């Protein structure tokens, strides 16, 4: 792959164009203008504000001091209780089992699986109720368990030496750490696993259901999260496109409970502070007030609890991701999950599906047969997810020196972009253009002109349906455009009466008030504009808190990006995350990008991953290599 002729041609072509541009008169003119702009703005308060990393003011506040005192009080109780139970033999054994879960030989797990399959199948064979399907499943479990018994390696060793682990570490340019030696299974350890497996199998056969094995698996999962809360939040981040909203919320909340317990029980584990702590806390407080004063209080409180879980996910992620290896591994895993989502969307475009034209004006766009939705159920929501990922994926093409890594970046970016085209979402296309432009402005300004040239020639290569769809922006003959305009007009009229405090979170409160201000009797679940929706739900203070959050976010990001000089990978990652967020916020002008809860979750995760990159860069800046 390193000798790929096609990839090599594109790399040489790119370098040739860059060399030509660097030696051109236009480049000299651009540098002169840039130097002049720097001189004009070097003493500007606004420019200096964005160059300075914002500090967290929350730590010095009275409220923070009160919360720390309460936390310290409960921490003493948790520490005392955990110390008491940790002395009992049973709890000691359970703790030791979880602590060695990844380092002990998988032989014990193989014994448990084999005992479960035998315990389930033998009673079924005697009464003749073992179906062909069940027999096939039992056979597969028996084969897997037999392999596990013969391997005698730990999960950590197996994963560390796997192709997947080597591939991810190679893509992320992070070292593959060698796993510790496998802890051998004692006879007592194997007997315990044998007993647990027999109980699970026999109980399922006798009762005719799998309640007991499911409960055992749930306890196993809870124990794994208790041992390391990061498992839950990482699973939520990677699997979010494929999980229901409540499953994501559940993973976040359970992970947060165990995170807090670890903070209380482990005095050496420190909470990570960021500059976004204060604006996030203020925004959460305003949302809470909006929920309890809502016209639909019950529904709004439920929505607030979901939002609160997503805000907590920010703190979980920031505290879980502390190294480059963790950051790159997590982002690469999210990009591969995005590639799977994109492939499913492309499949929908090729083969079609029943609801493909639901979101299209078929009279104006007769050639558009399908708008893909993949796993998100709505083309605009899918596009917002892709919009947040594409700039990060594109950054890996430029930041990685290896041709193989560049090719992987090209493939993933191509899949995400192709799926985005097939959503036919004009606002997100505009958002992506702005995101890519912002990315190159901060990463490598020379490439901006290549992007402008590419956009000028794009109509010659993209399908006519895409060109027609993009040119229809602002055309009120399109029902989608006129629909939004009428909703915005009605929402603005409504804000004349409710701009100060808002009406409450969620569609239920919106639908109670909006019909009285609706134009042409148009029914709408939301305002189709993020900023109108925020001020409608939370009032002027809610919008002010959100703007403060975004300004602090970009102050934090820009101050970091301009300081990263050597580490291209880290610079591309932070810039790509911030660029995707910029496109997402621009799309918020045309749609309520917080309508889908999973995309709200994605918003806070992008905030968190960016903060992680900034903190890593700041740490490297403070402790440079000798």
> What pLDDT digit, counting tens, does each position of 492-546 carry?
999 999 988 899 999 999 999 999 998 877 888 889 899 999 999 999 999 999 9
- How far is the CA of 204 from the CAs of 39, 190, 358, 462, in angstroms? 76, 21, 45, 57
Least confident of 112-121, 265-274, 364-373, 419-428: 364-373
Lowest mean pLDDT among 120-129, 405-414, 595-604: 120-129
Instruction: Label residue 387 by pLDDT band (50, 70, 90).
Output: very high
Report the distance separating Cα 581 and Cα 180, nearest Å: 39
Residues 601-614: what's their mean pLDDT?
A: 95
pLDDT band at 585 (very low <50, low <70, confident <90, very high): very high
pLDDT of residue 164: 65
Nearest to 422, CA basis, from 384, 465, 385: 465
The whole-model pTM stands at: 0.80
Question: Burial of 98 by CB count in 10 Å (0-12 exposed, 13-18 middle, 19+ buried)?
Answer: middle
Give me the sign of the Cα torsion angle 21, 22, 24, 28. positive
* SS3 state of residue 104: strand
Name which of 435, 421, 499, 501 is nearest 466 in CA terms: 421
The torsion angles phi and psi of 489, rounded to 5 degrees, stand at: -60, -45
Tell me the C-alpha to C-alpha distance, in Å, between residue 101 and each of 93, 97, 200.
12, 6, 19
pLDDT value for 447 = 60
Instruction: Identify which has the larger pLDDT, 15 or 461.
Output: 15
Lowest mean pLDDT among 118-132, 370-384, 418-432, 433-447: 433-447
pLDDT at 37 over 60: no
The answer to whether 616 and 570 have CB atoms below 8 angstroms apart is: yes
Return the structure tokens found at 30.
């651009």
Sign of CA dihedral 375, 381, 383, 387: negative
Most confident of 24-38, 255-269, 359-373: 255-269
**Which residues does 320 contact at the CB level (< 8 Å), separation at least 6?**
229, 230, 233, 234, 326
Tell me the C-alpha distance between 365 and 371, whole Å.
11
Distance CA 92, CA 100 (A): 12
pLDDT at 227: 72
Averaged pLDDT score across all residues of the chain: 80
How sure is the predictor about 2, in pLDDT bands with cuts at 50, 70 and 90?
Answer: very low
As a whole-number percent, the residues of the chain with pLDDT over 70 amount to 72
What is the structure's pLDDT at 521? 75
215, two tokens: 């409960």
CA gap 440, 423 in Å, rounded: 25
| Region of residue 319 (phi > 0: left; psi between -120 and 50: alpha; otherwise: beta) | alpha
From start to end of 76-223, where are the E strands?
none
Q: How far apart are CA 314 and CA 468, in angstroms?
A: 39
- Closest C-alpha to 373, from 422, 334, 428, 413: 422
What would the pLDDT profile of 616-625 be if each residue is shown by its tens digit?
998 887 775 5
Measured in residues, the chain has a length of 626
Whether the per-residue pLDDT at 112 is higher than 60: the answer is yes
pLDDT, one tens digit per residue, over 221-271 is: 777 777 778 888 999 999 999 999 999 999 999 999 888 888 877 777 788
- Taking only the tens place, the pLDDT of each residue in 274-327 is 989 889 999 999 999 999 999 999 999 999 999 999 999 999 999 999 888 889
What is d(CA 407, CA 604) in angstroms, rounded to the nearest whole number?
Answer: 29
Q: Is the pLDDT of residue 73 over 90?
A: no
Percent of the chain past pLDDT 90, that is, above it, reads 31
Q: What is the DSSP letter of 17?
A: H
CA 283 – CA 291 distance, rounded (Å): 12
> pLDDT by residue (tens digit) across 116-171?
888 888 888 877 777 788 788 888 888 888 888 887 787 777 777 666 666 666 66
How far apart (Å, rounded) are the C-alpha atoms in residues 426 and 362? Answer: 16
Q: What angle do CA 86, 192, 228 make, to 5 degrees?
A: 45
At 556 the pLDDT is 92
Q: Which residues contact 147 (CB under 8 A, 6 or more apart)?
A: 110
pLDDT of amino acid 217: 75
From the list 525, 507, 523, the residue with the least C-alpha distance to 515 is 523
Give residue 11's pLDDT band: very low, low, confident or very high (50, 70, 90).
Answer: low
Among positive and negative, which fits the CA dihedral 217, 221, 223, 224? positive
Contact 151, 106 (CB under 8 A): yes
Give the 3-state secondary structure of residue 79. Answer: helix
In this predicted structure, which of 82-96, 338-352, 426-440 has the lowest mean pLDDT? 82-96
| Chain position carrying tokens 């030509």 | 20
Q: What is the DSSP letter of 3?
A: T
Mean pLDDT of 79-106: 67
Residue 581 neighbours by CB under 8 Å, 6+ apart: 388, 553, 603, 606, 607, 610
What letter does residue 272 receive in the DSSP assignment?
P
Please report the pLDDT score of residue 345 as a whole number.
Answer: 93
Tens digits of residue pLDDT in 158-175: 777 666 666 666 665 556
Lowest mean pLDDT among 208-217, 343-352, 444-453: 444-453
What is the model's pLDDT at position 342?
Answer: 95
């Amino acid at each position: 792959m390193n000798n790929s002729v096609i990839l090599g041609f594109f790399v040489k072509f790119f370098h040739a164009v860059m060399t030509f541009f660097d030696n051109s008169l236009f480049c000299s003119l651009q540098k002169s203008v840039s130097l002049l702009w720097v001189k004009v703005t070097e003493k500007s308060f606004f420019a200096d504000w964005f160059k300075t990393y914002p500090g967290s003011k929350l730590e010095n506040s009275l409220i923070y001091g009160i919360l720390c005192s309460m936390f310290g009080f409960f921490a003493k109780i948790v520490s005392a209780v955990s110390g008491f139970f940790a002395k009992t033999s049973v709890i000691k054994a359970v703790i030791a089992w979880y602590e060695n879960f990844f380092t002990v030989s998988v032989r014990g797990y193989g014994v448990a699986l084999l005992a479960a399959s035998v315990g389930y199948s033998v009673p079924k064979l005697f009464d003749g109720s073992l179906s062909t399907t069940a027999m096939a499943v039992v056979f597969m479990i028996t084969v897997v368990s037999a392999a596990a018994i013969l391997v005698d390696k730990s999960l950590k060793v197996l994963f560390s030496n796997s192709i997947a682990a080597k591939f991810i570490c190679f893509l992320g340019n992070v070292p593959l750490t060698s796993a510790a030696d496998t802890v051998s299974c004692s006879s007592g350890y194997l007997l315990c696993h044998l007993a647990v497996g027999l109980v699970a199998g026999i109980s399922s056969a006798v009762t005719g259901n799998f309640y007991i094995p499911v409960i055992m698996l749930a306890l196993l999962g809870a124990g794994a999260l208790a041992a390391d809360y990061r498992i839950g939040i990482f699973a939520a981040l990677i699997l979010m496109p494929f999980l229901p909203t409540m499953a994501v919320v559940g993973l976040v909340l359970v992970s947060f409970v165990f995170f807090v317990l670890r903070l209380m029980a482990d005095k050496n584990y420190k909470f990570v502070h960021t500059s976004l702590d204060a604006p996030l806390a203020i925004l959460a407080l305003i949302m809470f007030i909006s929920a309890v004063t809502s016209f639909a209080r019950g529904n709004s409180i439920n929505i607030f609890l979901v939002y609160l879980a997503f805000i907590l996910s920010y703190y979980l992620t920031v505290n879980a991701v502390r190294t480059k290896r963790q950051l790159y591994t997590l982002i690469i895993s999210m990009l591969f999950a995005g590639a799977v989502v994109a492939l499913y969307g492309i499949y929908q475009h090729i083969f079609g599906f029943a609801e493909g034209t639901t979101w299209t004006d078929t009279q104006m766009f007769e050639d558009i047969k399908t708008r893909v939705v993949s796993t998100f159920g709505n083309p605009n929501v899918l596009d917002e997810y892709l919009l947040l990922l594409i700039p990060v994926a594109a950054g890996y093409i430029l930041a990685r020196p290896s041709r193989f890594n560049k090719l992987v970046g090209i493939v993933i970016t191509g899949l995400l972009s192709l799926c985005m085209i097939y959503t036919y979402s004009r606002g997100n296309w505009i958002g992506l253009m702005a995101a890519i432009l912002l990315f190159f402005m901060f990463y490598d300004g020379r490439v901006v002109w290549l992007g402008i040239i590419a956009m000028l020639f794009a109509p010659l290569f993209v399908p006519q349906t895409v060109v027609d769809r993009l040119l229809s922006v602002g055309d009120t003959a399109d029902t989608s455009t006129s629909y939004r305009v009428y909703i915005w007009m009605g929402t603005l009229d409504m804000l004349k009466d409710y701009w100060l405090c808002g009406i409450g979170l969620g569609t239920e409160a919106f639908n109670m008030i909006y019909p009285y201000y609706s134009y042409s009797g148009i029914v709408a679940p939301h305002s189709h504009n993020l900023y109108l929706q925020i001020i409608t739900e939370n009032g002027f203070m809610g919008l002010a808190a959100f703007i403060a959050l975004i300004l602090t976010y970009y102050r934090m990001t820009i101050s970091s990006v301009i300081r990263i000089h050597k580490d291209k990978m880290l610079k591309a990652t932070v810039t790509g995350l911030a660029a995707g967020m910029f496109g997402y916020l621009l799309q918020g002008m045309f749609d309520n990008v917080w309508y889908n809860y999973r995309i709200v979750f994605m918003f806070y995760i992008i905030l968190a991953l960016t903060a992680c990159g900034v903190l890593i860069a700041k740490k490297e800046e403070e402790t440079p290599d000798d």
